[in-house]
Amino acid sequence: MMRARGRAFRLGDLQLRILRVLWDLGEAPVANVQQELRGQLLAYTTVATMLRKMEDRGLVEHVEEGRKFVYRAAVTLEEVTRSMTGDLVERLFGGSLADAVSHLLDSRDVSREELVRLEQLIQERKNKP
């Protein structure tokens, strides 16, 4: 699997949905990816074209099995998550994690369990050497 350390990922909704399918399945031919995509119905050719474009960007890769192209993610969930959240914090909050968290706490319903979990994460981070 290709490692994309330091790469910035700016992905559209469909690209993320396709990657989620591939992360869940491990690998799949175009027809299976098309079938697993939830929401809007997409033509086989649309999914195949998007997979080719994503391969050109190094996001997915394929092997040929007979006449089928079987795709798998070439980037990990961790790489994409780290890049996209970092970009979001940088672009919307000037790099301030505190401002980003404050915004999320003010704009979303947060359960007591989530607040306890956030406090635990902060305490764990404080205790790191």
All domains of the chain in start order, with CATH: 1-95 (1.10.10.10), 97-129 (no CATH)
Q: Read off the pLDDT of residues 27-55 as tens digits, 9 standing for 90 and up.
A: 999 999 999 997 778 999 999 999 999 99
Alpha helices in the chain (DSSP H): 13-25, 30-36, 44-56, 77-93, 97-107, 112-127
pLDDT at 129: 80
How far apart (Å, rounded) are the C-alpha atoms in residues 129 and 118? 19
pTM for the structure as a whole: 0.79
